[in-house]
Amino acid sequence: MIKNLHVLVIGGGAAGLTAAIAAGRNGAKVTIIEKLDRVGKKILATGNGRCNFTNINMDLKFFHGENVRFAQGILQSFDVEQTISFFEYLGIAHKIEEGGKVFPMSDQAASVLDVLRYEIEELDIKEQCNSEVVSIQAKDKGFKLILKDKQTIEGDKVILTTGGKASPQLGSDGNGYLLAKSLGHRVIETIPALVQLKLKAPFLKALKGVKFIGEAAIIGEESILRKEAGEILFTDYGISGPPILQLSRKAAEGLKNKKKLYIQLDMFPHLQWEELLEMLQIRLGYQPQKALDFSFIGLLNKRLIPVVLKEAGIKNPQKKCETISIDEIEKIVDQLKQWRIEIVDTQSWRNAQTTAGGLDVEDIDAKTMESKLIPGLYFAGEIVDIDGDCGGFNLQWAWSSGYIAGEAATLL
Ligand SMILES: Cc1cc2nc3c(=O)[nH]c(=O)nc-3n(C[C@H](O)[C@H](O)[C@H](O)COP(=O)(O)OP(=O)(O)OC[C@H]3O[C@@H](n4cnc5c(N)ncnc54)[C@H](O)[C@@H]3O)c2cc1C
């Protein structure tokens, strides 16, 4: 390592804090320059305030990007085991939940940030908050950063970890792409991911707040692009819930390419179509004098019943069960198992949990995260064109790429 090496980390998020710790542990002088009044604000919001910080079922299939294989080596060089040990050493005992999701035993995202900040203090790393970098100048030796208030900071190496565009209220507004672009880096078009979907349907206001456990699939050009199961929630603009967030990247991609897309809902995934038909026939036969809509009470959420029947083309939902035709029952089964609603958009960046797209990995060294264009400049985290599914994969990418960049920046 260069004697008195000064590493400048731009952005104090998950990737930046890890990079700073790795560089500090290797003996470098480190300064974190953070735009907001404190570091790690997004970490506090993760996992609904519980921070799903990694996932034991790590696999490249949970990651995306134009060249997703780029992430493989980095995710292996600082892997899940090392991540759990890294946090264990800092004080975070962990627990594993459904789907391999790893959370701190304390169930508090704040504890993750607390221990990272403790380590930063122990390593004498400087946190310079309320400081937005507006320009990076590469000099013959080292770098000069210009801040919004015209202040300048000089250092030997720069690690750019300004995040993507998701949740700009937590600091990441995409300005990091402009900084990288000014140094010749290319940016793959960005789209919001892990975000709710806006639907085109007249009944959304009536269904706002209705939840059900079921399956959702994205349909494009008559084929299923991806399917996910779990709790699905109707909102006044469209649809939300963990399965929808998982599907949203596919939706955003398709919409960007001007494809007509639908969400297809299955409210009875545990029953085959024929089984549901039989079940309904028996149910409607119990009390043939009952009104059709009333016969669904106890089977479907009350607010769903009139909408489902209307969408199935039932003109008079109050007609007696004994008057319903087999054709009408089949239409109701179709509605319950293959309810298609057109997707018109995703929710905005403000609601997105991550960014698909970002810095083109072709310009970045896959072993060190160093720029192939500007020696001494490194990247990590969401700013790079790698994004993960829900479940701890995005933070894992931030920790892995951050740690590797921080270590590499301190090696000659
Ligand atoms: C609500 C929510 C919940 C989430 N939950 C999870 C979860 O449970 N598990 C999971 O794996 N992932 C989760 N994610 C995704 C994950 O949090 C992010 O992918 C990850 O934190 C990205 O880390 P980062 O360091 O790359 O960027 P960020 O965390 O966005 O940090 C970037 C930092 O750079 C600063 N900055 C930006 N520009 C400048 C500048 N010019 N100068 C100085 N500073 C600047 C910003 O203020 C910010 O502090 C969630 C995201 C959100 C929004």
> pLDDT of 185-213, one tens digit each?
999 999 999 999 999 999 999 999 999 99
The label of the residue with tokens 């991550």 reads 354
Q: Are residues 55 and 123 in the same domain?
A: yes
> What is the C-alpha to C-alpha distance for residues 27 and 24, in angstroms, rounded to an integer?
5
- Please indicate, yes or no, if residue 150 is contained in any of the structural domains: yes
* Residue 27 CA, ligand 1 centroid: distance in Å: 26
pLDDT, one tens digit per residue, over 55-67 is 999 999 999 999 9
From 300, 319, 346, the end of a domain falls on: 346
From 301, 316, 346, the end of a domain falls on: 346
Average pLDDT for the chain: 97
What percentage of the chain has pLDDT greater than the value 70? 99
pLDDT of 216 strictly over 70: yes
- Please indicate, yes or no, if residue 239 is contained in any of the structural domains: yes
pLDDT, one tens digit per residue, over 120-148 is 999 999 999 999 999 999 999 999 999 99
Q: What is the CATH number of the domain that holds 10?
A: 3.50.50.60
pLDDT of 412 strictly over 70: no
Query: Domain containing 246: what range?
Result: 196-346
Q: 376 CB less than 6 Å from ligand 1?
A: no
Q: Average pLDDT, stretch 39-44?
A: 98
**Per-residue model confidence (pLDDT) at position 340:** 97
- Please indicate, yes or no, if residue 243 is contained in any of the structural domains: yes
* Residue 42 CA, ligand 1 centroid: distance in Å: 5
Q: 166 CB less than 6 Å from ligand 1?
A: yes
Q: Are residues 306 and 381 in the same domain?
A: no
Inter-CA distances, 121 with 33, 110, 116, 125, Å = 15, 16, 9, 6
* Residue 163 CA, ligand 1 centroid: distance in Å: 5
Q: Are residues 63 and 156 in the same domain?
A: yes
**Per-residue model confidence (pLDDT) at position 2:** 63
Q: Are residues 246 and 307 in the same domain?
A: yes
Q: Average pLDDT, stretch 238-255?
A: 96
Q: Are residues 17 and 42 in the same domain?
A: yes
**Residue 40 CA to chain centroid, in angstroms?**
17
Q: Are residues 201 and 186 in the same domain?
A: no
Are 174 and 164 in contact by the 8 Å Cβ rule? The answer is: yes
pLDDT of 3 strictly over 80: no
pLDDT of 156 strictly over 80: yes
* Residue 162 CA, ligand 1 centroid: distance in Å: 8
Higher pLDDT pick, 278 / 412? 278
Are 197 and 248 in contact by the 8 Å Cβ rule? The answer is: yes
Domain count, the chain: 2
pLDDT, one tens digit per residue, over 320-378 is 999 999 999 999 999 999 999 999 999 999 999 999 999 999 999 999 999 999 999 99
pLDDT, one tens digit per residue, over 291-311 is 999 999 999 999 999 999 999
- Please indicate, yes or no, if residue 1 is contained in any of the structural domains: no
- Please indicate, yes or no, if residue 299 is contained in any of the structural domains: yes
Q: Are residues 363 and 342 in the same domain?
A: no
**Residue 339 CA to chain centroid, in angstroms?**
26
Q: Are residues 228 and 332 in the same domain?
A: yes
Q: Counting atoms of ligand 1 from 1, which one is nearest the CA of 39?
A: 49
HEC secondary structure over the chain: CCCCCEEEEECCCHHHHHHHHHHHHCCCEEEEECCCCCCCHHHHHHHHHCCCCEECCCCHHHEECCCCCHHHHHHHHCCHHHHHHHHHHHCCCEEECHHHEEEECCCCHHHHHHHHHHHHHHCCCEEECCCCEEEEEECCCCEEEEECCCCEEEECEEEECCCCCCCHHHCCCCHHHHHHHCCCCCEEEEEEECCCEEEECCCHHHHCCCEEEEEEEEEECCEEEEEEEEEEEECCCEEECHHHHHHHHHHHHHHHCCCCEEEEEECCCCCCHHHHHHHHHHHHHHCCCCECCHHHECCECCCHHHHHHHHCCCCCCCCEHHHCCHHHHHHHHHHHHCEEEEEEEECCHHHCCEEEEEECHHHECCCCCEECCCCCEEECHHHECCEECCCCHHHHHHHHHHHHHHHHHCCC
Q: Are residues 204 and 61 in the same domain?
A: no
Q: Counting atoms of ligand 1 from 1, which one is nearest the CA of 40?
A: 49
Q: Are residues 267 and 288 in the same domain?
A: yes
Atom 6 of ligand 1, residue of closest alpha carbon: 46
**Per-residue model confidence (pLDDT) at position 221:** 87
**Per-residue model confidence (pLDDT) at position 1:** 65
* Residue 79 CA, ligand 1 centroid: distance in Å: 19
Amino acid at site 65: G
Q: Are residues 296 and 379 in the same domain?
A: no
From 316, 346, 376, the end of a domain falls on: 346
> Which residues have a Cβ under 8 Å from the Cβ of 333 and sit 6 or more positions away?
273, 276, 277, 280
Are 328 and 336 in contact by the 8 Å Cβ rule? The answer is: no
> What is the C-alpha to C-alpha distance for residues 100 and 356, in angstroms, rounded to an integer?
23
Q: Are residues 149 and 209 in the same domain?
A: no
